[in-house]
Amino acid sequence: MKLTCNKQLALLVIGLVFGVLGASCASTAHFDYRRAPGTMQRFRKPISQQTVCVEPFRDFRQGAPTDDANGVAWSAERGSFALGWLPLVPYAWVSKARPEVAGEHNFASLRSYWCQFDVELAGAAVASINYSHLFGAPCVLAASGVAETDWIFRGTLYDTTYEGERLTYGVTYLLAPALWVVGFPSGVSHTRLSVGFELVNRRTGKTAWQFHYSGKASTVHWLYWNVGRDASRYPQLMRTALNAALYDLSQHFPELE
C-alpha cells in the first residue's frame, strides 16, 4: 500500500512538472513592426523630393546558405534545454543564429517564432521611411533589380542571434517549477540585431551613404508574465536602428542630390 502511494505521488509530481513546463511555453509568435514600442523618426517636412524604394534585405547571417559556399557545413545552434535535468546546473540554455528556423520548444517560453527576416525588415524600412517624410514621394518595396526610383535603400542582415535560458537554480526541472510558482523568474531571453543600411544611386550603382547598427535586448520571463515574448525585442531593435539610420541620412541631404 505504501509503495502504491509513493508511485502515485511520483506520478503526480512528474505530471505537475510537465504541466508547468507546458504552461510556461506560449504558442507561435511572429515579427510585428507595427506594435513595436517607441516612436518612429519623423521630420516636419520632406527633406528630399527624389524617389526611393527598398529591396529585400540581403542575408549574411551565420547558418545562411552562403556559409556553405565552400562545402563546409556547420551548425548555427548551440546548447540544449535538456541541461535543466542535470543537478547543480543553474540554468539550461540555447543559442540560435537563425531563430525563425528553430524547432518547437527551442525558446525559453515560446514554442516557435515565424519571421521571414529579409522581407519583414524591408517592410519595416518602408514603413519608417514613409512615416519619416524624409522623401516627398511614397517609398515602396521593390524586388531586386527592378527598381525605377532615384535611390535604392538596401539593407544587409548580419546577426539575429537568439539566446534563451531556462532557470532551474540547480534543482532541475523537478523542483524548479515550485520556485517559479512563488515568483522566481523562469527564464531569460537575449536577442541581438546587427544590420547595415546603404543608399545606392540607381543610375550609377554607386553607394552614396552607409550606416551600421548593432544592438542587444533582454527579456526576463516569469510563469505569469512575459510568457511568449522571447523574440519580441526584434521589432523594437529594428525601430531603433531605423530611427538612427534615417536621422543620420537626413544630415547628408541636400549634398547627396
- Summarize the chain as % helix, strand, coil (round to 5): 30, 30, 40
Q: Is the pLDDT of residue 170 over 80?
A: yes
What end-to-end distance do the CA atoms of the chain give, in Å?
88
Q: What is the mean pLDDT of the segment spanning 155-174?
A: 96
What is the per-residue pLDDT for 109?
Answer: 93
Q: Provide the grid cell at 63.
A: 547558418
The model's pLDDT over 206-241, given as tens digits with 9 standing for 90+, comes to 999 999 999 999 999 999 999 999 999 999 999 999
Q: Which single residue is written with the C-alpha cell 524591408?
A: 122
The model's pLDDT over 59-93, given as tens digits with 9 standing for 90+, comes to 999 875 544 444 433 457 889 999 999 999 999 99
In Å, how far are 40, 134, 154 from 49, measured between CA atoms?
A: 20, 9, 19
What is the per-residue pLDDT for 77?
Answer: 82
Q: Which domains does the chain have, with CATH numbers?
A: 2-250 (3.40.50)
Q: Is the pLDDT of residue 21 over 60?
A: no
Q: Which single residue is written with the C-alpha cell 532541475?
A: 172
The model's pLDDT over 118-148, given as tens digits with 9 standing for 90+, comes to 999 999 999 999 999 999 889 999 887 788 8
The model's pLDDT over 97-122, given as tens digits with 9 standing for 90+, comes to 999 886 656 899 998 899 999 999 99
What is the per-residue pLDDT for 70?
Answer: 47
Instruction: Please check whether residue 108 is in contact with residue 100, taking contact to mean a CB–CB distance below 8 angstroms.
Output: no
The model's pLDDT over 180-197, given as tens digits with 9 standing for 90+, comes to 999 999 999 999 999 999
